[in-house]
Structure 1
Amino acid sequence: MALLGCCLFLILFLLGLAESQSQTFNHPFNRTDIQAAIGDMRAKSYYGFAMLLQMLNGTSQPNNRDLTFLMPDDKELSASSISIDEVEEFLLKHAIPMPLYFNDLSHFPTGTLVPSGNRTQMIRIHNRARGDFFVNNAQIVSANVCLSSVIKCHGVDAIIEYDHGN
Structure 2
Amino acid sequence: MHDRSSVTLKLSYWIDELSKWAGAVGAFASIALALLIVYDASMRYIFHEGSVALQELEWHLFDILFLMGLSYALKHDKHVRVDILYTRFSPRFQELVKIVSMLFFVIPLGLLVVWYSWDFVLQSYLQHEGSPDPGGLCCRYIIKSFVIVAFVLLILQAVSETVKSLYRLKELR
TM-score range, shorter chain: under 0.3
Report the TM-score when normalising by structure 1.
0.28
* Structure with more of its chain in helix, by fraction: 2
Which structure is higher in RCO with an 8 Å CA cutoff and minimum separation 6? 2
CA radius of gyration, larger in: 2
* Structure with more of its chain in strand, by fraction: 1
